């Protein structure tokens, strides 16, 4: 019997997707596609081949960003044409997705995928916990590369992100399966690393405010980043810093 987990990487490299979005196929004859990824023809076809012959197919989403959910509609059409129409779309970020509450599960023939709310990257972001294997699918909450992810979409996102890190830490997973990059075999180290980066940025802003009360905008950006931001990422860095500043303004030391 084939292993109940396959990873397929889309050919959509970029500054925010690294070497591409990772989709996962779980199960034996009752299969789950977790994060179909972008609307890239080769990737959609690979997913269809990956579930060929399955008795049932379902789609599970971590969030609605196009590099994770942009291929849903194309995948549904391709599966229908192949005679494997998905019986359900579950999660966040697509109009046809059925939302799940915390601790609700998708049950399949290799265990359960338990919904774990992890707001921060997006307000409705979900991680998926596979307790039978000790695996945690983190989407964009924790990545396989580096020490940071995009946290700047809504007021309160930094506080949410830090709380979400604590929530997944309490699960004590054996392995993290991220939406970008390789699997992480030392989840506690990864969670600590991503938290340390965010808290370091928070402390940088607090230190700037102690030296120059009220500093914000361009002046704060120059103090924190200087000229170290790669070309093309300045806008993202500014929004990320603004989210950290909002946290500093609303959460006491």
* pLDDT per residue as tens digits for the range 75-91: 999 999 999 999 999 99
Residue 4 carries which DSSP code?
A: S
Give the count of beta carbons closer than 10 Å to the beta carbon of residue 163. Answer: 14
Main-chain dihedrals φ then ψ at residue 5, nearest 5 degrees: -145, 130
Q: Quick check: 127 pLDDT over 90?
A: yes
Pick the closest to residue 117 from 130, 106, 104 (CA basis): 104
Give strand pairing partners of 145. Answer: none
| Token digits of residue 114 | 């338990």
> Domains in the chain and their CATH numbers?
5-185 (3.60.15.10)
Q: Quick check: 3 pLDDT over 80?
A: no
Q: Quick check: 56 pLDDT over 90?
A: yes
Angle between helices 157-171 and 187-211 (to 10 degrees): 150
Q: What is the DSSP string of 60-78?
A: E-S---HHHHTTHHHHHHH
pLDDT of residue 68: 99
Report the share of the chain in percent with pLDDT over 70. 99
Pick the closest to residue 247 from 194, 196, 202, 210 (CA basis): 202
Burial of 156 (0-12, 13-18, 19+ CB in 10 A): middle
pLDDT of residue 231: 85
State in Å, rounded, how far the first CA of the chain is from the last one: 54
pTM of the model: 0.96
């Amino acid at each position: 019997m084939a292993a109940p987990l396959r990873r397929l990487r889309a050919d959509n490299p970029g500054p925010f997707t690294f070497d591409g979005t990772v989709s996962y196929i779980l199960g034996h004859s009752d299969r789950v596609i977790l994060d179909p990824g972008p609307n890239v023809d080769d990737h959609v076809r690979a997913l269809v081949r990956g579930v060929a012959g399955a008795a049932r197919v379902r789609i599970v989403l971590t969030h609605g960003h196009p590099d994770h959910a942009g291929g849903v509609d194309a995948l549904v059409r391709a599966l229908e044409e192949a005679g494997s129409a998905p019986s359900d779309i579950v999660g966040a970020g697509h109009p046809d997705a059925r939302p799940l509450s915390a601790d609700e599960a998708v049950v399949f023939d290799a265990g359960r995928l338990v919904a774990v709310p992890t707001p921060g990257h997006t307000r409705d972001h979900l991680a998926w916990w596979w307790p039978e294997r000790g695996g945690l699918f983190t989407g964009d909450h924790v990545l396989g590369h580096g020490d940071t992810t995009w946290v700047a979409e809504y007021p309160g996102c930094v506080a949410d992100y830090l709380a979400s890190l604590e929530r997944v830490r309490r699960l004590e997973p054996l392995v993290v399966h991220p939406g970008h990059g390789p699997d992480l075999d030392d989840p506690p180290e990864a969670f600590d690393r991503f938290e340390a980066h965010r808290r370091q940025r928070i402390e940088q802003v607090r230190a700037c405010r102690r030296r120059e009360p009220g500093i914000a905008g361009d002046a704060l950006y120059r103090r924190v980043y200087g000229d170290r931001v790669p070309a093309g990422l300045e806008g993202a860095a500014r929004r990320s810093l603004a989210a950290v500043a909002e946290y500093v303004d609303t959460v006491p030391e």
